[in-house]
Chains A and B, each alone.
Chain A
Amino acid sequence: MNQFLLRHPKSIIGLLVVSFVLMIVSVSYIAPYDPNHVTMKERLLPISSEHWLGTDHLGRDIFSRILVGARTTVGTSLLILMCSLLIGIPIGLFSGYIGGRFDRVLMKIVDAFMAFPDYIFAIVLSGLLGPGMFNLIFAIVIVKWVGYTRLVRSTVITEKHKEYVLLAKINGLRSFQILKKHMIPHIMGNVLVLATLDLGKIILMIAALSYIGLGAQPPTAEWGSMLNEGKAFFYNAPLLMVIPGLAIMLFVLMSNLLGDYLRDKFDVKSKKVGI
C-alpha cells in the first residue's frame, strides 16, 4: 500500500482531500442541536448528558457549534490552501522553467512578499479590508502563495537540467508536456508535505485573526470567533474558551503529525538527519 502511495503521490492528495471533505461535511450533520438556536434560559450550562460540552452565553449547544464550526474553520483553511496552491504552483513552474528575465522579475516580487512578516501583512490587510471571512481568506492567500512558488521553482530549476528532461526535449515533447509529465510528479511530494504542515499554520492564523475580531462574525460558528466570544465569560464559564481552543489544537496537532509522517516518507534529507 505504502509503495503504491509513494509511487502515486497524486493518489495520496486525492485520498486526503476526499476524506477531509467527507469528514467535515458528515460531521456537521450529526450535530445534535441547531448551532445557532438561542435559548436564554439554558445559558452557561455545565457539561451534562443533554449538552455534552455545555452551553454558551446564549444557550447554544457548544458541542453542535464545535461540529458545525469544523466546517467553517477547516473548510476555510482548505480553501485558502487550495487557492495558494493554484496560484503558487503554476507561477513557480513557469518561472523556474522559463528562467531568464521573467524569472528574475518574478522572484523580486516574491522576495518583496517574503521580506514582509506574514502575520503582520495578514493582520493589516484583512483589517483594512474590513472584518469578514472573505477578506480574511484573501489576506491569508496573499501571504501564503509565495512559499509554494519558491519551493516549486527551486525544484524545477534543479530538475530541468537533468538528462531525462533533455531526452524528452530531443524526443520532441513540448514544454507543456514536459512540465506536466516530468515536473509536476517531481514537485508533488514536496508540495504535499509543505501543504500539510501549512494547513495547521493557516488554522492558527485564522483563529488568531478571528480572535482579534477580523475573521468570522457572530453568529457564525467558527472556532476562533467562538474563542473570541467566550473570552468575555471566561471568569464564570472557562469551558466556553477551553473547548474551541482544544478543538483548534487537536486539529493542528493532527495536521502536524500527518505532515511529519509525509516528510519522513518523501524527504530523504531530513530522514537521514533523524527528525
Chain B
Amino acid sequence: MKRFSSRLMELVLFILLLSFISFAFMKLAPGDPVRYILNIDDVAVSEERINELREELGFNDPLVIQYGKWLLQFIKLDLGNSHMTKQPVIEELIEKLPATILLTVTSLFVMTIIAVPIGTISALYKNTWIDHVSRMFALFGASVPSFWLGLLFIQLFSVKFGWLPSMGMGTIQHLILPALTLGIAMAAVYVRLLRSSLLESLGQDFIRAAKARGLSNGRIFFFHAFRHCLVPVITLFGVSLGSLLGGTVIIEVLFSYPGIGKLVVEAIVRRDFPIIQGYILFMGLFVTVINSLIDVSYRYLNPEVRLKEGRS
C-alpha cells in the first residue's frame, strides 16, 4: 500500500511538472496567438481589437496569475477553448482520440503478426538462410524512414493499382496502409529483440529443467521460453512508445487521417496554444499510465520479480 501511495504521489508531481512545462512552452514560444486568431478572416485588424482580445483571453495578467488560473481550470478538467474552432479542447481531443487509438492498436497488431513469426523462426533456425533474411529485414526496417515507406505504399497501392484509398478514414481499407506503414517500421526492432532474447532464454537452466521434466518441445517453447521473452519485449514497448506516438503524428499527416496527431500539427501551424497544451498533457498522461501498467505487468510475467517482492 505504501508503494502504491508513493507511486501515486510521484504521478501527481509528474502531472504538475508536465502542466508547468506545457504552460511554459506556450509562453516562451514566439508568435502572438492573438494575431493568429484575428487573422483568420484575413481582414486587417485594429490595435484596439487586439488589445480587447488580449484582455478577454487574460494575456495581460502576470504570468504567475495566468498559470494559477490555468491550473485551477486544469484541475476541473477544463483546458479552455480552441482558438480556432471555439470548441472546448477536451472535447476536440476526445473526439479525435478514438481514431488515433484505433490506428495505434491496428499497427501494433500488424507489428505483432510480422515480428513474432519472423523473430521466432530466426531464433529457431539460427544462422541458416532464413535467419539471415530476417535479420536483413530487421536492418532495413530499422533504417527506412516511415513516411517514405508510406509514400511508396501510396504510390504503389493507391496510384498504380488503385486497390486502397490513400487518405481519410472510415472503412477497414482506409486503415490498411497507415497501419502497415507504422507496423513494418516498428516490427524491425522487435524482430531483433525477440530473436536475441529467445536465444538467450532457450539456453537457460529453467528450460533444461523443463526438458528434464519431460515437457513437450512446443509447450516448453510457448509457455516457458516465450513467456520469458515477454519481459524485454514489454520493456522495449515502454521505451519505444514515444516513437510510436510520434510515428502516428507523421503517418496521420501523411495519410490525412483525422486523428489527434494531425490535429496537433494543424494546431502548431496555427499557434492554437490550448490544443497544443492539451495534447502535451494528454500524451504525457497516456505514456505515464501505460508505463505504470507495464510495471505492474512485470509481476505477472516474471516470477522472479514476485519472489523478490515477497522476500523484501
Contact = CB atoms under 8 A, between A and B. Distances in A.
Interface of A: 112, 115-125, 127-130, 200, 204, 207-208, 211-213, 224, 227, 231, 234-235, 238, 241-242, 245, 248-250, 252-253, 256-257, 270, 273-275
Given A117-B283, A212-B250, A274-B126, A242 B152 contact: yes
Interface stretch (B39-47, B110-118, B136-144): B136-144
Nearest to B250: A208
Contacts of A252: 142-145
A270 B280 CA distance: 36
Interface in B33-53: none
A127 B243 CA distance: 17
A187 B182 CA distance: 34
A127 B273 CA distance: 11
A241 B25 contact: no
Contacts of B8: none
Nearest to A117: B242
A112 to B, nearest CB: 6
A116 B242 contact: yes
B73 interface: no
Interface in B125-160: 126, 139-140, 142-148, 151-152, 155, 159
Contacts of B148: 207, 227, 241, 245, 248-249
Contacts of A122: 246
A115 B249 contact: no
Interface in B7-37: 14, 17-18, 21, 25-26, 28-31
B77 to A, nearest CB: 21
B25 A125 contact: yes
A234 B245 contact: no
A127 B196 contact: no
B32 to A, nearest CB: 12
Contacts of B241: 117
A143 to B, nearest CB: 9
Interface residues of B, number: 52
Contact of B268 (A116, A127, A238, A248): A127
Nearest to A246: B148
Among B18, B142, B279, the most chain A Cβ lie within 10 Å of the Cβ of B142
Contact of B280 (A124, A207, A238, A241): A124
B252 to A, nearest CB: 10
B226 to A, nearest CB: 16
28 contacts: A115-B284, A119-B249, A120-B283, A123-B246, A124-B276, A124-B279, A127-B269, A127-B276, A128-B31, A129-B30, A130-B30, A204-B146, A207-B147, A208-B145, A208-B246, A211-B147, A211-B250, A212-B250, A212-B253, A212-B265, A241-B148, A241-B151, A245-B151, A245-B152, A249-B143, A250-B143, A273-B200, A275-B196
Contacts of B269: 127, 213
B51 to A, nearest CB: 24
Contacts of B126: 274
Contacts of B142: 200, 252, 256
Contacts of A235: 159
Contacts of B81: none
A167 to B, nearest CB: 34
B245 A117 contact: yes
A248 B146 CA distance: 11
Interface in B246-265: 246-247, 249-250, 253-254, 264-265
Given A256-B139, A273-B199, A275-B192, A120 B155 contact: no
Given A242-B152, A256-B143, A270 B196 contact: yes
A120 B249 contact: yes
A123 B26 CA distance: 14
B144 A249 contact: yes
A129 B139 contact: no
A235 to B, nearest CB: 6
B243 to A, nearest CB: 5
B265 A127 contact: yes
